[in-house]
Amino acid sequence: MASKTIHAIYNDDDLLLHAVKQVREARYHIGEVYTPFPVHGLDKAVGEAPTRLAITSFLYGITGLSVAVLMMNFMMVQDWPQDIGGKPSFSFLTNMPSFIPIMFELTVFFAAHLMVITFYMRSRLAPFKKAENPDPRTTDDMFLMEIDATNHNVEDLTKFLYDTGAAEIKLIDNK
């Protein structure tokens, strides 16, 4: 059985956000929403689950802090202890105030770089990957809402979407 998808194109982000809420209230299934820039509140309006990226960022920061502590303990206390500024080098804790900038920098470094890698992997982005957006105007100034219309009356759904403020509607037959 062929599935049908409707692409409703909007020209304003507030109009799109209001239309998404109306479509969800009417119990239609929104497959995806393509926007040229992030729209505040759109993820909640579409019904996306909360992201766990903050948890991964915290874990990456803890990893960076651990690497910094282990690295400085090995280099400055165990492997090659030096008397810098009259500070004894036989204990990590006595030298920790001078190590705080390094610990902070490595925490931020690990969190930032590993978050970028996680973002690319999660988004399935890679260099030279072809764009998957269905309409090239969604990278410039238009907003597209993709709605599954397989089990719905297409004429009623089209009229409903025009009533929500859609500027253009296309029916896509996926065979």
Read off the pLDDT of residues 48-95 as tens digits, 9 standing for 90 and up: 888 888 899 999 999 999 999 999 989 888 888 777 777 667 777 877
Give me the percent of the chain exceeding a pLDDT of 90.
51
Overall CATH class of domain 3-48+133-174: alpha beta
Instruction: Provide φ and ψ at 139, rounded to 5°.
Output: -90, -5
Q: At which residue do the structure tokens 């029916």 appear?
A: 171
The SS3 call for residue 143 is strand
How far apart are the C-alpha atoms of 168 and 166, rounded to whole Å?
6
Q: Which residue has the higher pLDDT, 77 or 168?
A: 168
How far apart are the C-alpha atoms of 4 and 69, rounded to whole Å?
56
Residue 83 confidence (pLDDT):
72
How far apart are the C-alpha atoms of 147 and 29, rounded to whole Å?
6
| Full-model pTM | 0.70
- Of 14, 15, 12, 42, which is closest to residue 30 (Cα–Cα)? 42
* Lowest mean pLDDT segment, chosen from 42-46, 47-51, 63-67, 162-166: 47-51
Phi-psi domain of 2 (left: phi exceeds 0; alpha: psi -120 through 50; beta: other)? beta
Phi-psi domain of 39 (left: phi exceeds 0; alpha: psi -120 through 50; beta: other)? beta
Residue 2 confidence (pLDDT):
62
The domains of the chain are located at 3-48+133-174, 53-122
